[in-house]
Amino acid sequence: MKIIQLDDQSRKDILANLLKRDPNHYSGYETVVQGIVEDVKNRRDEAVFEYTKKFDHVDLTAGELRVTEEEIQEALTLVEPSLLSVMKKSMENIREYHEKQKQYSWFDSRPDGVMLGQKVTPLASVGVYVPGGKAAYPSSVLMNIIPAKVAGVERIVMVTPPGRDKKVNPVTLAAAHLAGATETYKVGGAQAVAALAFGTESIPRVHKITGPGNIFVALAKKAVYGHVSIDSIAGPSEILVLADDSANPRYVAADLLSQAEHDELASAILVTTSMELAQKVSEEINQFLLKLSRKEILEKSLDHYGYILVADSMADAIDTANEIASEHLEIVTRNPFEVMTKIQNAGAIFLGEYSCEPLGDYFAGPNHVLPTNGTAKFFSPLSVDDYVKKSSIIYYSKEALKPIHKDIETFAEAEGLTAHANSIRVRFESL
């Protein structure tokens, strides 16, 4: 793994390289994705079936598209009881954490006859995209569905690509059932996103789409934004470990590799004040690579987007971490809580050597759907807030409006909006 002495130029070069991973930079795919989205919008089910046959090599009919109760029960029998037990434990942690995020409607009244407030309403329907293929991601299922359930969403639709046997991965399906999905459809890719956004004969539209996916899914979410809401346009996974000479190099190496194995575009970065730690971490990574199963992916990820950066001071290291604004940030220093107070930009912050990133992925409770590619500077993790909307409440009595009506008329007339002014004036024209 590359060891680089950190300075202004190396920081700029690394940031420029990391930005190449941004889905917004894959403009070559946008035309293809836009074509799929428009086709599904216009031809609906017919287009969905054609793209499912083309990309997933599965020939589905309208009667086979929606997962049946029998298929759900079959999936539950196929999943190891021990895994079901672990998923249920994880669910409780996720639910308990997200319950604390709930917001409630509020009203504030004044003696002069004014009442102002905010009404919090759950979205009526959301669609959750879950990747398919050979891998199953039950953790992502739980992280997307449970906050929606906590928020009070009544209709939660999961879409995921079918296997060649025309079935959904049983682990994925079991997780969706346990978490509270109300419908599941066997469709993936850009066509699934378009179906959720515009609706088809078989798939009623939703109001928001969440969940991770490949570049085609990400660009499809971007294409339908405005017709529906979306959570974010997620990029490849990333981790940054901020460490001093007290860190265990074996732990750090293992944590960096835990994200690098996702795909070739994943990023794993160590920023440290210790050259000795940097060298030991590099050695440990080489040893791990000899025995880990996804060696080819790991090597490509580390070659292109893996860095060990040695900073002159912890202040420089912290500045670098804030500039990169990583999806996952581990702080492994003598006093991680002190360092944490200086972090401004990160999706999720893990403190201490036993708070490793997979703990957040699977079990701790905070959401693992996080901002990527530096967007932690202005985006937050997926939360209950993503599944509600807010309405303002305004009430003024005649007695409250009377002393200020001329002020409002003046303001409206200054903007040339005489009908606005008149709307206020007519209520007091007899005075």
267 pLDDT more than 80: yes
Identity at 161, one-letter amino acid code: P
In tens, the pLDDT along 325-363 reads 999 999 999 999 999 999 999 999 999 999 999 999 999
Three-state SS for 168? Answer: coil
> Which residues make up the CATH 3.40.50.1980 domain(s) of the chain?
3-22+235-365, 25-230
Question: How far apart are the C-alpha atoms of 294 and 196, rounded to whole Å?
Answer: 33
pLDDT band at 430 (very low <50, low <70, confident <90, very high): confident
Residue position matching structure tokens 């880990």: 292
Beta strand residue intervals within 33-192, DSSP E: 106-109, 114-122, 125-129, 155-160, 183-186
CATH topology of domain 25-230: Rossmann fold (3.40.50)
Which DSSP category does 332 fall into? E
Task: Please give the single-letter amino acid code of residue 138.
Answer: P
d(Cα 225, Cα 235) in Å, to the nearest integer? 16
Q: How many CA atoms lie within 13 A of 374 on its CB side?
A: 14
- What is the model's pLDDT at position 72? 97
DSSP state of 124: S
Question: One of 98, 262, 328, 368 is an active-site residue; which one?
Answer: 328
User: Does residue 17 register a pLDDT over 90?
Assistant: no
State the chain's mean pLDDT as an integer.
Answer: 94
At 21, the amino acid letter reads R
In tens, the pLDDT along 388-419 reads 999 999 999 999 999 999 999 999 999 999 99
Q: What is the mean pLDDT of residues 13-35?
A: 81
Q: How far apart are CA 378 and CA 312, in angstroms?
A: 28
CA–CA separation, 398 and 429 (whole Å): 13
User: Any idea which of 19-33, 128-142, 285-299 has the lowest mean pLDDT?
Assistant: 19-33
Report the topology of domain 3-22+235-365: Rossmann fold (3.40.50)
Rounded (5°) CA angle 108-113-116: 30
DSSP string, 348-395: EEEESTT--HHHHHHTSSS------TTGGGT-----GGGGEEEEEEEE
Choosing from 327, 330, 353, 357, which is the catalytic residue?
Answer: 327
Q: Are the CB atoms for 327 and 246 separated by under 8 Å?
A: no
Q: What per-residue confidence (pLDDT) applies to 78? A: 96
Q: What is the average per-residue pLDDT within 97-124?
A: 96
- For residue range 122-171, what is the model confidence (pLDDT) as tens digits? 999 999 999 986 567 899 999 999 999 999 999 999 999 999 999 999 99
* Distance between CA atoms of residues 147 and 385, nearest Å: 9
The predicted-structure confidence for 224-242, as pLDDT tens digits, reads as follows 999 999 998 888 899 999 9
The full 3-state SS of 203-255, as one line of letters, equals CCCCCEEECCCCHHHHHHHHHHECCEEECCCCCCCEEEEEECCCCCHHHHHHH
Q: What percent of the chain has pLDDT over 70?
A: 98
* Closest to 217 measured CA to CA, from 122, 306, 299, 137: 137
pLDDT at residue 8 above 90? no
Q: Is 154 a catalytic residue?
A: no
In whole angstroms, give the CA distance from residue 359 to residue 365: 9
Angle at CA of residue 83, ends 78 and 89, nearest 5°: 135
Task: Note if 327 is an active site residue.
Answer: yes
**Quick one: DSSP state of residue 203?**
S
